[in-house]
Amino acid sequence: MSQTQYMFFSGKGGVGKTTMACATAVHSAEQGKRTLIVTTDPASNLSDVFETEIGHSIRPLGVENLWGMEIDPDTATEEYRERILAPMRAVMPESVIKVMEEQFNSPCTTEIASFDRFVDFMTADGQDGANGRDSGGYDLVIFDTAPTGHTLRLLELPVDWSKHIEESAQGSGNTCIGPVASIQENKVKYDEATRLLGDPGRTEFTFVLQPEATSIYETKRSSAELAEIGVKNTRLIVNGVLPEDVCEHPFFQSRYEMQKRHLETIESGFNVPVKRMYQRDGEIKGLEGLRHVAHDLFSEAGEAPAQFSLKRSVEGLAAEYVEQDSESLVHSIRPVAGRTKAVFFTGKGGVGKTTVSCATAFALGRLGFKTLLLTTDPASHIGEVLEQRVGDSIAPVAGAENLDAVMIDQEKAVEEYKARILEDAKQKYSQDMLVAVREELESPCTEEMAAFDKFMWYVERDEYDIVVFDTAPTGHTLRLLELPFDYSDQVGMMVTTTGEGSDVKSETQARFDRIIAQMKDPERSAFAFVVYPESTPVIEAYRAMVDLRAAGIETQFVVANQVLQSEYCTNEYFKNRKTMQEKYLGEINRRFQLPVTVMPLFETEITGLSMIERAADALFASAASASQSEAAR
């Protein structure tokens, strides 16, 4: 029997990972291979692309030999918790079970549970199909992953958790995800996953990128990190390439020439197979659209590409064009005198959160507000957009008024967090408690806790008028913003139910209460979604807005980015794209019922202060005079 092959798709957000993964899955199934496509992205849009409900169980996708599954973090957590606790309920005292249940409320459990389901598919360790587990038998398993930074974190976890389980077995016998005795079998599974990731005959890793500087930068950085963890078999798909024969207008000629330069850089800078994919004139959804893409993706050299027009209807959407409303944008983000305001930009990967964040922060500084620009994205490229080095220490942005910038360095944040927790514990707690604290700090979960702790530190700063947060893609941003609620009983080193542990919890609870209150207060925090006018980013942002509202956080406005200007759309190809955009701009109005401000597509990338200034002018176009008068008050 032939062995299952594994294929990963990753890259910067918004480059088309899901589309390429789905087209590959359809092609593989129609070639007679039993194929499973699994998404590990907490903001999955697999169902949207296949136009069928999938969810946290393996389902057929309308093509013979093809199945799909969306790993749901909450459901995976319940499954994992019960799998560990069920055998113990009959033999352990109720008081012990209650302590363990409290431990399993840890955010660590959510991370390891989702990861554990991912590993199941790599090690054919599945069980019954009722809860989404499967007995294997696939020729190909395709992983449609979260944007790059989070994918690298996922792929590093087999080594991290295996090591932590081994070390805990030599110590207390407990981990933050359960007693070592109950999860020892997991170590074998994680070791096997590590071996498979490094086997070029079984595992292939595909980076999807677009011919843009930030996408190339992230791919280079990420491919180097993959090599460090032993992944050897990689290839590239360059997506979104403009067809030369539709770029007759000078605006699109400029974009075509820009892409051409970047394509040459890609061809010369990566010693791996490279496949180019042309941009279509509409959205790629449903089996017909995926087959359209698969035709080109698997074409032989010299074979004629498919037509760029999908001839796909977007009927059923309101055809009303959104009006620029930058006055509301200024009103939403203007701070109350004497109080720092936090402004959060989030949305699907690749919609332009970083450029919008940079443009907004630049404009606010220009208006006289002392502004800090900060990124919480592990695959950040703020420095590339600013064309200046941005490190983990706050530093002024050269050439910009009243603007500082900083990024959260994950590794440094972890080391600082460990040192601070240990130093604080030495002053307060017994030797037994210190041993438990040290062991707990070696958990891979500490990374998430440290990142959130650093995030809180910046939210709490009061020397700035405004702190602008460029966040990670939607699913991970929601995870970050939910942490105050999840961690309320956990961060005090969830290792004991003694009075010492209760004291720590009460201290951290008070801090969390302050953060939660600030995020819920529209005078202290403003939340905005960045979208481009297509179905997937609009739907994803709307779902996220609803989730935030359930947590008591209201969204203030929407930024519609990469909007085509009518005067440049002179042929059928771009007229089709413009028509699609206008209808989705109407959908933004209908769904969100919030103020919307528009950022146009530019003839080149937004990098460097001169382009950032142009973007700031466009973003605040209709509010210039109003902004000046408000800032002067």
Tell me how far apart the alpha carbons of residues 197 and 228 are, in angstroms, rounded to a whole number: 12
Select the more confidently predicted residue: 389 or 504: 389
Structural tokens at position 97: 């079970």
Q: Which residue has the tokens 């909450």?
A: 74
**254 or 195, which is more confident:** 254
How far, in Å, CA of 139 to CA of 153, rounded? 26
Q: For the residues 290-312, what does the mean pLDDT come to? A: 72
Among the residues of 16-93, which ranges form H helices? 17-30, 46-50, 73-89
Tell which CATH classification among 1.10.10.60, 3.40.109.10, 1.10.10.10, 3.40.50.300 matches the domain 326-628. Answer: 3.40.50.300
Tell me the β-bridge partners of 67: 36, 60
pLDDT at 443: 63
**pLDDT > 70? residue 454:** yes
Q: Which residue has the tokens 């807005």?
A: 545
> pLDDT, tens digit, for every residue of 334-351?
888 778 898 988 887 778
Q: How confident is the model at residue 303 (pLDDT cuts 50, 70, 90)?
A: low
Residue showing tokens 């989030």 = 346
Give dist(CA 481, CA 487) in Å, integer. 11
* Sign of torsion over alpha carbons 194, 198, 199, 203: positive
pTM of the model: 0.78
d(CA 203, CA 140): 10
> Is the pLDDT assigned to residue 532 strictly greater than 60?
yes
Mean pLDDT lowest among 18-27, 281-290, 326-335 = 326-335
Using pLDDT thresholds of 50, 70 and 90, give the confidence band for residue 485. very low
Nearest of 308, 347, 371 to residue 612 by alpha carbon: 371
Does the pLDDT of residue 491 top 50, yes or no? no
Rounded CA-CA distance 509/488 in Å is 5
pLDDT in tens, 108-159: 566 566 667 777 777 754 333 333 334 458 999 998 876 444 445 555 554 5
Please give the biggest Cα pair distance in the chain: 76
What are the structure tokens assigned to 117, written together?
Answer: 């389901």
Whether 409 contacts 392, CB under 8 Å: yes
Residue 592: both structure tokens together: 């969100």
pLDDT in tens, 423-451: 777 776 677 667 766 766 766 567 667 77
Instruction: Answer whether 5-74+111-155+195-297 and 326-628 agree in fold.
Output: yes
Give the chain's length.
633
Residue 419 has pLDDT above 50, yes or no: yes
Residue ranges covered by each domain of the chain: 5-74+111-155+195-297, 326-628
Q: Report the C-alpha gap between 544 and 538 in whole angstroms.
A: 10
What number is the average pLDDT over the span 496-516?
61
Angle at 82 between CA 498 and CA 475, to 5 degrees: 90
Residues 6+ apart with CB under 8 A from 550: none
Stated as kind and residue range, the H or E segment containing 115 is helix 107-123
Tokens of 290: 């995926």
Please give the C-alpha separations between residue 178 and each of 45, 168, 492, 559, in angstroms, as whole numbers.
32, 11, 18, 43
Give the integer Cα–Cα distance in Å for 452 and 454. 5
Does residue 465 have a pLDDT over 70? yes
274-278/234-241 β-pairing: parallel
Dihedral in degrees, nearest 10, Cα atoms 206, 210, 215, 221: 30
Please tell me whether residue 247 adopts helix, strand or coil conformation: coil
Range 5-74+111-155+195-297 has CATH code 3.90.1150.10: no
For 410, counting Cβ atoms within 10 Å of its Cβ (0-12 exposed, 13-18 middle, 19+ buried), the class is middle
β-pairing, 35-39 vs 557-563, is: unpaired
Residue-wise DSSP of 74-85: HHHHHHHHHHHH
